Amino acid sequence: MKNMLKIRMKVTQYLIQNYFASTLKTPDFCLVMKECKIQNKFLSKKDSIHATTAMSFLQVETSFGSPGGYSFGLKDAKQTLELLRSRRLVSAECHFHNILSKLSFVSPCFIVVSVFLFIFSSAGLTAELTPEQRAKIQLLNTSTIQTPSERLNYNLGGLHSQNYGDYYYTEGKADQALNEYLDAVKKYTGTDKEPSIQFKIGLCYEALHHNNEAMDKYREILTKYPASKEISETRFHLAGYYYNQGQINEAMAYYQAIVANSGYYKAGSWLLACTYQKLGGCERNLNKGVLNDKSRECYNKAIQIAQGASDISEAQKLYLLSEQYMELQNYDKALAILNETLKKYPGNAVALYHKGYIYLQLGKPEQALADFNRILTMFAGKEEPMKTETMYCMGNYYYSIGKNDDAIAMLSPILSLSKKPDYYSSVLLLMAKIYKSKRDYSQAINYLTQIIAQPLNRQLTDAIHLEIAECYRLAGNYDSERIVLNAIIDTGTDSVLTAKAREMLELIPAPEEK
């Protein structure tokens, strides 16, 4: 019996692989059976039918989706299978017949795949997902199917667009996710699902650095859906935008609104703790970067929330606690928590990064660089946010000790990344400082000019222009310096910057008479 099942599995594998590869000509499907680890395990009939439904969903969307089909591989079928299991949806047979009833044409491939997988019900696909994949699946908003009637009559296109959008977003493909969400929101307009999808559209705009569109979308959510469960997160993202723009008071207003309405809008412990941490940062920023009683109160409140939270994981709790103790400059306590984190979760890149940062603050660069280099080794050849942030931190350190060439070696790869980090302008500014210290003023001006091309508020733009003016002065180009300084004075955005510009203007030597 076991050998017969092996033969059946191989026959099924061959048919699916060859049909997909020769007919659909989709790269993902050419590797479907390579990715699929069909194992010699006996599944229950129920699990096997769920596996069939997963592959059926996959095949329907490929054959009858957008022109050319969706380029989805078996990874997505595995996710669909997991969703079916976790959500305990209506039986696979109902889904199967529901799909068939919605199609005006059924491809031979769909029939072949479905029939073979149903026939060999004891030799179905096993969906053994990693913890990371399971965590991603939990993020998917699959609560759109509620009652049995809805399960049989739901809007197939809208549901799939939303879930595909979730998948693309968690994979870092915000442009593809955006297209799916824009399609889904049309089908869910006027329903209780619309606020959630609109919020995800805002997240995609933000990930694509379309900040104006993202902020407009978030403000629209606050206006149109004031009682939705996305309100607190929407305010959190708006606050983050204003904070990054240097508009601290505006940011604080949104953070304080989250705290004031946390009970009504059911903000979770994670969001509340992060909000108090951000409020601490705002208070500190207003105090010129120095810890004060107000900022300490905020960080301690975040610690209190994290310690008593029952709705976050242990890893999240350890992360929050280490962050707060770092902000409070209690480095011994922070290091103890980070060491505990690494003991329970070896190879945790965030914990390694924080340890490295603390060692730099404690004047132990060798230990810091050892942790940083472990991160670079972990993500060698990959574009990973944690790797990028580590390189930026190392570049900062090398610049601080006068190793400009080493700093440039660390920072240059960040500038060529296909996906720019949120602190891209800070990288450009650091590069400008490095070249300024090397007395290569033309290169310094080049990087400063690139910063101005980024979305900045007027005050930050004028501050960068002051840096450009100083580089012109050091290069002896007084005419260009004068033009830049007069432009700052004409805008008059900030009294301090304007006064500094006037002061620099008075120091420019008078033009020599010809």
Element (H, E) at 58: helix 45-64
Give SS3 for 256.
Answer: helix
- C-alpha–C-alpha distance, residues 126 and 42, integer Å: 9
Range of lowest pLDDT (81-90, 183-192, 225-234, 372-381): 81-90
Say how many C-beta atoms besides its own lie within 10 A of residue 83's C-beta: 18
Whole-number Cα distances in Å, 249 to 215, 243, 273, 286:
17, 8, 19, 9
pLDDT the model gives residue 468: 95
12: confidence class by pLDDT, cuts 50, 70, 90: very low
pLDDT tens profile 316-367: 899 999 999 999 999 999 999 999 999 999 889 999 999 999 999 999 999 9
Whole-number Cα distances in Å, 172 to 72, 403, 448:
15, 34, 29
The rounded mean pLDDT for the chain is 74
276 against 67, higher pLDDT: 276
Residue 222: both structure tokens together: 């606050």
191: confidence class by pLDDT, cuts 50, 70, 90: confident
- C-alpha–C-alpha distance, residues 352 and 345, integer Å: 11
Asked whether the whole model's pTM tops 0.85, one would answer: no
CATH 1.20.58 is right for the domain spanning 456-514: yes
263: confidence class by pLDDT, cuts 50, 70, 90: low
pLDDT the model gives residue 266: 53
Distance separating the N- and C-terminal Cα atoms of the chain: 103
